[in-house]
Structure 1
Amino acid sequence: MKVGIVGNGLIVRQALACFKEAGIPCTALWCRNAEKGKPLAEEYGIEKVYTDYEEFLEYDEFDTVYIGLVNSLHYEYTLKAVQKNKNVICEKPITSTYEEMETLRLVARDRNVFLFEAIMSRYSANYEAVREHLADLGDIKMIRANYSQYSRRYNAYQEGTVLPAFDPALSGGALYDINVYNVHFVTGLFGRPETVTYIANIGFNGIDTSGVLTLDYGPFKAVCTGAKDSVSPPGITIQGTKGYIEIDDRPGFVRNVKLHLNDGTEMMLDGPDEGNPMTHEFRVMRKCVQDDDFERTYSWVNASLDTMYVLSAARKSAGIVFAADKK
């Protein structure tokens, strides 16, 4: 795997460090402003810097594109890369709407390319350990997931300055920026719910600054709380008739996982330390590409489709409108 990088923001800088740690070469960088991109390219030994995206995609010294742009641009830039037969790693959320995700899934499959959403929990062995032990819980009844982190951008928002994280035109908000981790965790294990309800705290420009998402699966319910305007300890609990699993960490990391059974059994489910979770996910993606493991990859793509179904339905429930909805 050789990677072409799209963007030059904070998440891109984090990704470049992780690609380097994983031993995955990055050979080209695209950004709007070459003067901003060149120092970053020099720091990480990237050979080419482009400001023309079409020209960037024609460069044959990378097979995979990493996209770390604002949410609203994920679909457009991913679609163009896939249409040029490039594999794509796109930051979460991979699209703004369910329809966009369905299009990406179909085009990527038709082109026989790999498509990955960079959501770290998905690639963790601990997440699979949770899946393997669900049967120990008996009948699942309740799931609680909370990821609430006060955003440094919220102070500016309160003063009337709208940065991308709180801009509906750029597909921002608490649901897409932070609650998305909870949604991915739940849908990756249980699929698409029967009904979706989102009760949100809505700001002055129509964006959600925090909210409570309820997923009704019929025999069991999931409640996902995400906030950018307040803070609380993160965690996840999956409750069943025979016990529960608790995760004492952010849902994107899946660490400190413990099984509690009604008979008194307690067991830590954490496997060996995988190191930096972003570095680990890139290693997993590389192995999928090396092994031509489309079956595994597209099981994740289908999980992303389920997540986008929930996110789109949640926004509709709360009356949150993105610019992408009008296209």
Structure 2
Amino acid sequence: MFNVATIGTSFITDEFLKALAQVEDIRCTAMYTRVQAHAQTLAERHGVSRIYTDLDEMLASDIDIVYIASPNALHAQHAEKALRAGKHVICEKPFTLTTAQAEQLFQLAESQERFLFEAIVTQHMPNYHAIKKLLGQVGKIKVVQSNFSQYSSRYAQYLSGSVPNVFSPQWGGGALADIGIYCLHFIVGLFNEPKEVHYFPNRGYNGIDTSGCGILRYPDFIASFACAKDSRSECITQIQGDAGCITLHGEPSRCPRFIFQERDGTVHEEYTLAQAKNVMVHELREFTRILKENDSAAHAALKQESLAVMRTFEALRAHGNVPWPNDD
């Protein structure tokens, strides 16, 4: 049985704990928060017995894994502390602020003989794996498009002048970091790193990208994506080839259902594979399996994808001149 401790008390931690309850051989036994009252309700809801306000004290306790859902700007320092304490780490997206941080953390994890995972649900969804297997039937890829747009529940707060973390440059917020990252994992996970990238943001009053469009140029095709937290749209992802087209209906994070059409428009098949309602269940099952079996090869594949996405993300952010922590 693996004992997990959490850092962060936002809604995503609540979802993580709900998913954890559906996975065998892993449980949450501790939480870290700067203010105990912030975690009290969450701990009671999920039966977590220990709340720490001292991170070092928690890291010295009998836990095996640390789940990090702190603000984006704190991911790297929290992951480093956990790894140095000899813990495995599951870190929320975006993994780190920079590629250099990600590389350093993976090197540290290797030296500590610990596993470091990026909590990105896309790559673990059954329908995503089905899409990978179907790519050969699409023929030569010509165009890829992905849209993940949802009107943020915190956008009104932002417009009022009170800046939540998700719209804060100081905390590593913005549309690209928050939901565009799912489009990147979907595309880069299927086609590897692009040769050239461009990002065109719509900026809020503090310079943050409240929405934006990106272009990823590959040797033989173009991929594009749109991500928005200031407006909503039906989320659709399409992979167009000279023999057919795959159309994913729904967020690229969840991959709820997709169809494969032949070149003449004939619907070959509709895919709605059984998936857990809480999409985090799939990644947690895989992380637990890797830990139990010490599957370093599977971990290495996840690591390479995380680094490829980080390099792409960093290049897009730089092209779009999106403000970021520690920018001069």
TM-score, normalised with respect to structure 1: 0.95
SS at match of 2:234: coil
1:52 to 54, 67, 71: 54
TM-aligned CA deviation for residue 233 of structure 1: 0.1
Structure 1: segments with no counterpart, 5+ residues = none
CA contact (8 A) 1:130 1:269 kept: no
Residue identity opposite 1:29 in structure 2: M
SS at match of 1:272: coil
Q: Which residue of 1 aligns with 2:311?
A: 309
CA contact (8 A) 1:168 1:322 kept: yes
Q: Which residue of 1 aligns with 2:175?
A: 174
Residue identity opposite 1:76 in structure 2: Q
Q: Which residue of 2 aligns with 1:260?
A: 261
Provide runs of 4+ in structure 1 moved above 4 Å. none
| Alignment of 1:297 onto 2:296 | no
TM-aligned CA deviation for residue 36 of structure 1: 2.4
Q: Using the alignment, how far apart are the partners of 1:325 and 1:56 within structure 2?
A: 32
TM-aligned CA deviation for residue 68 of structure 1: 1.1
Percent same amino acid among aligned pairs?
36
Q: Deviations over 1:229-274 (max 9, x none)?
A: 1111001000111111110010001121211122535112333334
SS at match of 2:145: strand
SS at match of 1:5: strand
| Alignment of 1:142 onto 2:143 | yes
2:31 to 26, 29, 32: 29
Q: Using the alignment, how far apart are the partners of 1:282 and 1:9 within structure 2?
A: 18
Q: Which residue of 1 aligns with 2:155?
A: 154
Q: Deviations over 1:210-231 (max 9, x none)?
A: 0001000121111010001111
Q: Which residue of 2 aligns with 1:43?
A: 45
CA contact (8 A) 1:138 1:242 kept: yes
Q: Using the alignment, how far apart are the partners of 2:77 and 2:14 within structure 1?
A: 22
CA contact (8 A) 1:7 1:31 kept: yes
CA contact (8 A) 1:121 1:251 kept: yes
TM-aligned CA deviation for residue 204 of structure 1: 1.5
TM-score, normalised with respect to structure 2: 0.95
Residue identity opposite 2:54 in structure 1: D
SS at match of 1:204: coil
Q: Using the alignment, how far apart are the partners of 2:36 and 2:277 within structure 1?
A: 33
CA contact (8 A) 2:126 2:275 kept: no
Residue identity opposite 1:126 in structure 2: N
Residue identity opposite 1:252 in structure 2: S
Residue identity opposite 1:101 in structure 2: A
TM-aligned CA deviation for residue 324 of structure 1: 4.2
CA contact (8 A) 2:127 2:257 kept: no
TM-aligned CA deviation for residue 325 of structure 1: 4.4
Q: Which residue of 1 aligns with 2:284?
A: 282
| Alignment of 1:115 onto 2:116 | yes
| Alignment of 1:14 onto 2:15 | yes
Residue identity opposite 1:172 in structure 2: G
Answer with 28-37 or 172-181: which moved more.
28-37
Q: Using the alignment, how far apart are the partners of 1:4 and 1:152 within structure 2?
A: 28
Matches within 5 A, 1:86-101: 86-101=87-102
TM-aligned CA deviation for residue 84 of structure 1: 1.7
CA contact (8 A) 1:97 1:324 kept: no
Residue identity opposite 2:31 in structure 1: L
TM-aligned CA deviation for residue 9 of structure 1: 1.6
User: Do the aligned partners of residues 265 and 44 (structure 1) sit closer, same or farther apart at CA in structure 2, a change above 3 Å counting?
Assistant: closer
What RMSD over aligned residues (CA atoms) do the two structures have, in Å?
1.5
Structure 2: segments with no counterpart, 5+ residues = none
Q: Which residue of 1 aligns with 2:321?
A: 319
User: Do the aligned partners of residues 145 and 72 (structure 1) sit closer, same or farther apart at CA in structure 2, a change above 3 Å counting?
Assistant: same
CA contact (8 A) 1:247 1:254 kept: yes
Q: Which residue of 2 aligns with 1:184?
A: 185
Q: Using the alignment, how far apart are the partners of 2:80 and 2:225 within structure 1?
A: 30
Residue identity opposite 1:276 in structure 2: N
Answer with 153-162 or 311-320: which moved more.
153-162
| Alignment of 1:269 onto 2:271 | yes
Q: Using the alignment, how far apart are the partners of 1:324 and 1:95 within structure 2?
A: 13
Number of residue pairs matched by the alignment: 325
